[in-house]
Amino acid sequence: MNADPRFMLIRELHLGAMPLAADARQQYLDENCSDPSVREEVERLLAGDQTMTFAGLLTKDSLAGALVPGTMLGHYRIQQRLGAGGMGLVYAATDEMLRRTVAIKVLPPGNVDQNTRLRFIREAQAASALNHPNIITVFEVGRIGETDFIVMERVDGQTLYQAIGAKGLDPRDAIQYATQIAGALAAAHEANIVHRDLKPSNVMVTERGLVKVLDFGLAKQSAKLPEEVTAETSLTKIGRVVGTASYMSPEQAQGKPVDSRSDIFSFGAVLYEMLTGVKAFSGDSGIATMAAVLNKEPAPLLEAVPAASGGLHRLISKCLQKKPHDRWQSIADVKLVLEDLLKDLESPPSTPAGAVVERRRAGWIVAAAAGIAGVLGTAGVLRLTRAPAAVPGSEPVYRMLTAEKALNDYPAISKDGKFIAFASDRGGEENLDIWLQQIGGREPIRLTRDAADDTDPAFSPDGAKIAFRSEKDGGGVYVVPALGGEPVLLAQGGRNPRFSPDGRWIAYWTGRGEGSFTAGSRVFVIEAGGGQPRLVHPEMGTALFPIWSPGGDKLLVFGWKKPGAAPDWWILPVENGDPKETGVIALLKAQKLASVQPGLRVERAALDWFDSGGGRALFAAPLGDSANLWEIGLSESGTVSGPARRVTRGTGRQARAARALTSDAERTVFSEEIVNYDVWTMPVDPERGGAKGEMTRLTDAISTEWAPSITEDGREILYLAHRSPTWALVSRNMETRREKVLVSSPALLLNAQITGDGRRVVYSNGDYHIFSGSASGGAVENLCERCGTVLRVSHDGRYVMYEPMANEDLLMFDAKERTTIKLAPRPEPDTTLSGGDLSPDGKWVAFHSVSHPARATQVWIAPVDRTRPVPPAEWIPVTDGKTFAQDPCWSANGNILYFVSEQDGFRCFWGQRLDAARKPSGEVFPLRHFHSARMSLRGASSTGFLTGLSIGGNRAVFAVPELTGTIWLEEKAREK
């Protein structure tokens, strides 16, 4: 075995670059090889079928045949080669035993030298010793025959190197990613593991913004090494230079001993590159690069990125100090400072004056801390970066409790104000779990681990238990110990559990909870230890979202007593007494707080009720394009004292909150949600009807894009964009990707459709006028004033399906004759017909019915008869009415009908094949599932045209809301 380090480097680079495409090879060598002579030798080998003259390097043919897709490696079936990572090749594979997709890194069969095998084992041991959401999870390490392998979780996304690109990242994204990397390193350092090869290509970033640190192949562990890794064979021994030159610390470049502070230097170099797009240290060769690390300073951050803050510049400068004792001494401290910097960047523009002062003060503290940390030490920095306590009589102080890019929502707070519980998908598994965090503490504790969404936690008064809603097994209320344990089912079907003030009872409600389909929901109480549920006031027609009164003998609910009545807040005595209507909703309407904006779902129910200042109730309400927290005076007797007072401000959606009153402070924990609608596309098999691939995002702006439609050949789409304060009608060519704004309006645009032939567009505005215009742009004409909302249009645009403002029969407008045609009548006054869509040949119409008393929706097909309304007896049922189903959409050939349904308990896209008579043929089949809380069709409320599922050619287009959220704490001192 030739042990020349130069030969070893050439061998490793050749092995890593060989399976990559040409452009990927270039990127790989740019980052990993800075020595021109080494690179020349590697490229010479890659250009032909030559092999090096030392044992262990495989030829291109033998390497390509190492693992073939479809073959088995133990109980893992190889799917495809993903690329190279560190020392080995990486494959996607299926774990046939556990039925999951994994990534497998292998050392190809052959005479692999002992040091390479030891590094390979070291990587597995280091990574498997860590359990952190930002560190790659290792499932197994083994050897089958001559092949060594590591089985890891499969991470879909791109490397941080790819995400950075040539221009760098937006400072907010850079800090969000850096905070997660710092968290991963903190976990490694706490386990006495130093990564030693942190660089952008060893960090993955998923589409959801989750960071995963990879490749612990050079990791050094201070604990005792395994017996087979002796002092002589250890790759971490003093005097040997390992790592990547541009990111290694000065002590690492000199072959000196390293500790966790070496990773902090590498972290600073990575963060600098994230912000600027250029390496902090570089040279014409590896030696020149290491000389720059030892003797030079990178260009000042503020020169390269003027938008960066001074605090960020000082943070990076301190990471990149040449001497270890001059750097930050703990990456955990760096994470704390980054979190404070992120708070400054993400602070809402419109906030109470005191909150602005606090954030500015925090910014000054961070800047000062970065400059004087060497004098004060770690403890001094921690004291400086902690937000000050609220002072009696002052404005509230706001603190961000979660900073990762995830969905953090449904916050609850313990009675003593010291702990919060919340639902989050921060675990990286797409579903929501319940997490517990001490206010002012570090990482939260994960309490639940199942594939279903767990939401809406509530603390028991003593803080020992947490009740929550889980969607598993049909949904229900569960209880789990606050310190962790196995959740126990308390009430099947229950939602929004709340403990009584004495902890004896839990109140909850049952029902669908989807817009108008909340009718018939019921409120129950059950003993906290389990027992028989008791229905509270069955005479209430609908009751949901129960909140206990401060005295614990009443419930405040949202609902109505008689069918068809307007909703309100009602007080329900738990034992004796009659329900009492409060009149709160009428008061909120007078303040213009009770309306719901399109796409902005905010429940108008109370969030908390507390005994302070005569009694107050906390709730969320929309005003304009945002939603904030408000409170209103409400006594236990039901007396309302208004008007409502705004508690929080900001441009986001603060929809869920809880409050704790302690002897010295009033603490309100709330979620700041961001709902972003984007238009997506997905390939569809035009004959068989199923999806032929994954969905792809077409729009990616912070603004709202929804209600898409597509031409029958699939070449042109139309969608609505809300770029406040302007609404726009945008067309997009799917081949050229060019977009054109056809209509721009300061007033609301409700929905729009492009005709099947792509020549015209039809849309309706907030005044329910229907307009038509050329798809090329230009003047528009008013087809029908005060008619309703456009649903679909015929191929040539002559016929417009629309939903009227009242008496919602199935109507079609003839744009040529300027007349309305009733295609089908409502079977009952309490039934609505909507979602009409004409078949491609114009002979059939699909639609859905909503029976409000029965809370049932059903999809139908009826023949089109322009001479008479087609009665219900002639309708063809597509769904059975037992499961939520609405918003039908024809396939391009008219042989399949798609619709939105809760067939599997989630709101997803489904399809039904039709025979020649347009009757269902065969079983319903899924087109696309939406089972994650982050992307759910339920976020679109009951306004189905916002989703706008439309089929053209061999593709589907639709809009989906993506939800992210951050947990905030508002703290206000109480007068004593």
**Both tokens assigned to 242:** 């390992």
Give the bridge partners for 199, in sequence order: none
Q: Is 642 exposed, middle or buried (0-12, 13-18, 19+ CB in 10 A)?
A: middle
Other C-beta atoms closer than 10 Å to the C-beta of 524 total 21
Cα angle 271-406-941, degrees, rounded to a multiple of 5: 145
Cα angle 611-615-619, degrees, rounded to a multiple of 5: 100
Task: Describe the strand order of the beta sheet including 704-710 as a list of residue ranges.
Answer: 704-710, 716-723, 726-733, 739-745
Give the bridge partners for 862, in sequence order: 845
Instruction: Quickly list H helices, 158-259.
Output: 160-164, 171-190, 250-253
453 is catalytic: no
What is the rounded distance in angstroms from the CA atom of residue 723 to the CA atom of residue 450? 38
CB neighbour burial string for 50-88, b if at least 16 within 10 angstroms, e if fewer: eeeebebbbebeebeebbeeeeebbebebbebbebbbbb
Q: Name 529's Cβ contacts closer than 8 Å, sequence gap at least 6.
A: none
What is the rounded distance in angstroms from the CA atom of residue 56 to the CA atom of residue 3? 11
3-state secondary structure string across 137-175: CEEEEEEECCEEEEEEECCCCEEHHHHHCCCCCCHHHHH
What is the rounded distance in angstroms from the CA atom of residue 478 to the CA atom of residue 537? 23
What is the rounded distance in angstroms from the CA atom of residue 882 to the CA atom of residue 512? 13
> Would you say 671 and 409 are in contact if contact means Cβ atoms under 8 Å apart?
yes
What is the rounded distance in angstroms from the CA atom of residue 802 to the CA atom of residue 149? 60
CB neighbour burial string for 418-431, b if at least 16 within 10 angstroms, e if fewer: ebbbbbbbbbbeeb
> Would you say 546 and 555 are in contact if contact means Cβ atoms under 8 Å apart?
yes
Catalytic residue among 4, 61, 148, 197: 197
What is the rounded distance in angstroms from the CA atom of residue 15 to the CA atom of residue 31? 15
Give the residue numbers annotated as catalytic, written as ranges. Answer: 197
